[in-house]
Amino acid sequence: MQSEELLFDASDGTCKTYNDLFKRINNDTYYYEIWRYPSFYDFLVNLIKALLNDRVITLIDKDLSSEELVNLGYSTKFEIKHELKQYDNKIVDKRTIIDKILNSRSLITFFTSGTTGIPKKIVHTLSTLTRMVRVGENYKNNVWAIAYNPTHMAGMQVILQALANGNRMVYLFEASNDQIKRSITERGITHISATPTFYRLILSDNTSYPVVKRITLGGEKSDAKLHKLLAISFPNSKINNIYASTELGSLFVSYGENFVVPISIASKVKVKENELLIHSSLLSWHYDDEWYPTGDIVEVIIKKSLTFKFKHRKNEMINVGGYKVNPNEVEEVIRDFPEVREVRIFGKPNSVLGNVLCADIVLNSQKQIEIKEIFKKLKNVLQEYKIPRIIKFIDKIEVTRTGKLSRK
């Protein structure tokens, strides 16, 4: 029996079918609870085996250093392998896999990105991970891009959305920009969920992708300029933002800058001193206090039916000579320059000022601007302490393991 495609890995050009998956599931009598995976396909097979058998699983980035593993409490030899029972009935169809996954009692452990220190360990059930997963006939022909790190919350939620409907996946996370752009058309990708940084880095020309039906942004603040570019490059797509975190899973969706809290959880969300707070009952893990501070600073648009706009992360603010600078604000101003493709604002430690504000800028191809011209333009729109003192033109923006702009 020849089965349809399950996965195309754009980073190495390999293709796997459901038949390949069935053979691995039926013949392998073990799974790894903790493991540094060699390829996305190996990760996917191991994940499915764990879910089918209601096992616990801990997701570890394959590029973590030995020092980082020790900081997380593991020795450098951390692989934990378990035996599995042999199935009495061989699994040879997608429907069986889908049903077993959706009813799995597995626990999945993630680690937060650790941008402000040692990552925290967060345990989720399938019920919190699939809170916003949609299943049905309307979704069965979707083709999903895996553009997030698969060992992090956002990547897992995309994988589960695809698996729950037996959808084809195209792995883009480790692919180059050229491989990504080629794969969108050649593999017929209909749905992409990724960080704003991911989209900014691939929207470098006037290429149009009419095959894509849905674009979702998450993990970072987006802006009006990016939404306009997305509407041009993906003319047949609905575009929305999603609010999610490792600690909470997915909670809110918006079709512009403003998030509206659903009536079903309205009593479990509030804003205090501009910080978004979530009731602990929405967490899948124990939290000592009644309200969990998300660390997200928001602007309330409507109080009655809580509607808010995301401003920045509390820990992103950069101290410059006693002033607090929101890097997102400065980046939005610089991105408005037609010559600029992407920008990263970060602080460089300084004994006098606390930090010197720096900007790494990637220019659009075939467009030029002098650094002194950027300084001149910024003086017209930003307060003096918000203007970067060091500006560099670079070829590639540094991103974190989760695909976001690196502030370090």
More confident residue, 249 or 211: 211
65 class by beta-carbon count within 10 Å (0-12 exposed, 13-18 middle, 19+ buried): exposed
pTM of the model: 0.84
Return the pLDDT at 29: 87
Q: Judge whether 405 and 220 are in contact, CB under 8 Å.
A: yes
- Residue 372 CA to residue 263 CA, distance in Å, equals 51
Query: Which of 264, 287, 235, 57 lies closest to 160, judged by CA?
Result: 57
Question: Which of helix, strand or coil describes residue 41?
Answer: helix
Strand partners, 320: 323
pLDDT of 117 > 60? The answer is: no
| Inter-helix orientation angle 371-379/327-335, to 10° | 110
Return the pLDDT at 341: 87
pLDDT digits (tens, 9 = 90+) for 347-389: 999 888 899 999 999 998 778 899 999 999 999 999 999 999 9
Strand partners, 90: none
Taken as a whole, the chain contains a residue count of 408
- Residue 336 CA to residue 325 CA, distance in Å, equals 18
- Residue 346 CA to residue 386 CA, distance in Å, equals 11
User: Could you confirm whether domain 317-393 is CATH 3.40.50.300?
Assistant: no
Same topology between domain 5-240 and domain 317-393: no
| Mean pLDDT over each residue of the chain, to the nearest integer | 88
Return the pLDDT at 1: 39
Strand partners, 98: none
Domains in the chain: boundaries: 5-240, 257-314, 317-393
More confident residue, 79 or 192: 192
Identify the CATH homologous superfamily for domain 5-240: ANL, N-terminal domain (3.40.50.12780)
pLDDT digits (tens, 9 = 90+) for 49-91: 999 999 999 998 887 777 878 887 887 678 899 998 766 668 8
The residue whose two tokens read 């918000």 is 386
The structure tokens listed for 148 are 């997030």
Q: pLDDT band at 2, cuts 50/70/90?
A: very low
Could you tell me the sign of the dihedral formed by the alpha carbons of 286, 287, 289, 293, in that order?
negative
- Residue 347 CA to residue 301 CA, distance in Å, equals 30
Strand partners, 171: 9, 146
